């Protein structure tokens, strides 16, 4: 038994489970000439669909399983099964692989599962002119031929019975296929209706998707706008924070300034209080001076009356700084009554003083220097601090500070 490069798929499926009517072999000769290539023609029926590993084998008549092939060829897959011409196919067996005896053989179509889908009528491999040769056979050969003929008839009868059984099975399968076909048509209609509904829903979804896309674009624009607004708000917040920080600094400065003003106000209040005290002291001093002035006026009147002079007849002269000198009393409104009268007999107040430095009686250089210093200085009546006469404004401010 000759084989090609790759063994075909076979199985131990018996003849009773095969389907011989799905592939039909056409133009099968009764015999083929040896040493010549053989072309096998076959046609696919409507429900059958060929596959890549299907094959056609040459089997000796009387085979039981697909393992008993003599040689085989792979089938050619058609491009389009809906085309009628594509259903008619052929394969060619090379003469080298064909049987060399005169037994009866047949073509069988086997699918890739090892199931037979079609079988041809029997044929032989013998010369073409063999029927024209007169053969003289003996009785023994005749008996042999008869036994062979009986075997062939028995095999043919078995095959006829098989074909009848197969035909009945095919009819039943055809009815089942018809009912299944109707169910499939109903199912196809349902699927088409579902497909139409799904297409409509798909259109709605596409429209909804477009609307969502537009909404998404709108939301993106709003998001960008909000982002810009947020950025501006952050900038404004930074400016506000800077303004708040400046206001805090200004508040701190204002509080410091307020504290300074409060301190200054407190100082002014203290100075005002000191000034009030000074004013009260000066007022009392003024009252005292006025009392002393009244006393001096009465004393002056008494002395004038004692000297025989009239007080009202005396001409009042306002002494100047040159006339009064350092010893003139500014508190006397009518002047010093002792000025120019018995000056030689009335000693100066300085003459009766004793110098604290040299312990000398009367006027000395130290007393004159002290008298000149008093004429050139201003003394604070509160604390006794001395200021030069050229710093009169400072002296007045100093005295005013005591009132605060």
Distance of CA 354 to the CA centre of its chain: 104
Cα 318 from Cα 201, distance rounded (Å): 129
CA-CA distance, 373 to 376, in Å (whole number)?
Answer: 5
Task: Note the pLDDT tens digit of each residue in 159-210.
Answer: 777 877 877 888 888 788 888 888 888 988 888 898 888 888 888 888 888 8
> What does the DSSP 8-state code read for residue 213?
H
Lowest mean pLDDT among 149-163, 176-190, 390-404: 149-163
Q: How far apart are CA 106 and CA 162, in angstroms?
A: 15
The answer on pLDDT for 349 being more than 90 is: no
Number of C-beta neighbours around residue 187 at 10 A: 11
Structural fold of domain 23-125: Immunoglobulin-like (2.60.40)
- List the one residue out of 99, 94, 113 whose CA is nearest residue 22: 113
Rounded to two decimals, the pTM is: 0.34
More confident site: 324 or 239 = 239
213: confidence class by pLDDT, cuts 50, 70, 90: confident
Q: What is the pLDDT of residue 225?
A: 87
> Cα(283)–Cα(390) distance, rounded to whole angstroms?
26
For the residues 251-265, what does the mean pLDDT come to?
A: 89
> Contact at 8 Å (CB) between 176 and 29?
no
């Amino acid at each position: 038994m000759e084989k090609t490069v790759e063994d075909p798929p076979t199985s131990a499926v018996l003849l009773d489970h095969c389907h011989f009517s799905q592939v039909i072999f056409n133009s099968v000769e009764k015999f083929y000439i040896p040493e010549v290539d053989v072309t096998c023609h076959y046609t696919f029926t409507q429900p059958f669909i060929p596959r890549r590993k299907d094959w056609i084998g040459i089997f000796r008549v009387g085979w039981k399983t697909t393992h008993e092939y003599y040689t085989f060829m792979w089938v050619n897959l058609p491009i389009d099964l809906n085309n009628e011409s594509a259903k008619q196919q052929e394969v060619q067996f090379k003469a080298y692989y064909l049987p060399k005896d005169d037994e009866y053989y047949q073509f069988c179509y086997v699918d890739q599962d090892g199931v037979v889908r079609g079988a041809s009528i029997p044929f032989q491999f013998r010369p073409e002119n063999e029927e024209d040769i007169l053969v003289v056979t003996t009785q023994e050969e005749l008996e042999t031929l008869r036994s062979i003929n009986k075997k062939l008839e028995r095999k043919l009868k078995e095959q006829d019975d098989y074909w009848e059984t197969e035909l009945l099975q095919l009819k039943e399968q055809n009815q089942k296929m018809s009912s299944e076909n109707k169910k499939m048509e109903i199912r196809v209609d349902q699927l088409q209706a579902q497909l139409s509904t799904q297409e409509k829903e798909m259109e709605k979804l596409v429209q909804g998707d477009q609307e969502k896309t537009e909404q998404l674009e709108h939301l993106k624009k709003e998001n960008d706008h909000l982002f810009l607004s947020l950025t501006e708000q952050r900038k404004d917040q930074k400016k506000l924070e800077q303004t708040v920080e400046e206001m805090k600094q200004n508040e701190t400065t204002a509080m410091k300034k307020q504290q300074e003003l409060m301190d200054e106000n407190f100082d002014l209040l203290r100075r005002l209080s000191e000034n009030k005290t000074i004013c009260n002291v000066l007022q009392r001093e003024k009252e005292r001076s006025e009392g002393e002035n009244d006393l001096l006026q009465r004393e002056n009147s008494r002395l004038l009356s004692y000297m025989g002079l009239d007080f009202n007849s005396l001409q009042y002269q306002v002494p100047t700084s040159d006339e009064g000198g350092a010893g003139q009393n500014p508190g006397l409104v009518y002047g010093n009554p002792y000025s120019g009268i018995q000056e030689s007999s009335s000693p100066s107040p300085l003459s009766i003083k004793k110098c604290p430095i040299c312990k000398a009686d009367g006027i000395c250089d130290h007393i004159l220097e002290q008298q000149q210093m008093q004429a050139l200085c201003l003394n604070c009546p509160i604390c006794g601090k001395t200021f030069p006469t050229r710093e009169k404004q400072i002296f007045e401010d100093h005295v005013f500070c005591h009132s605060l």
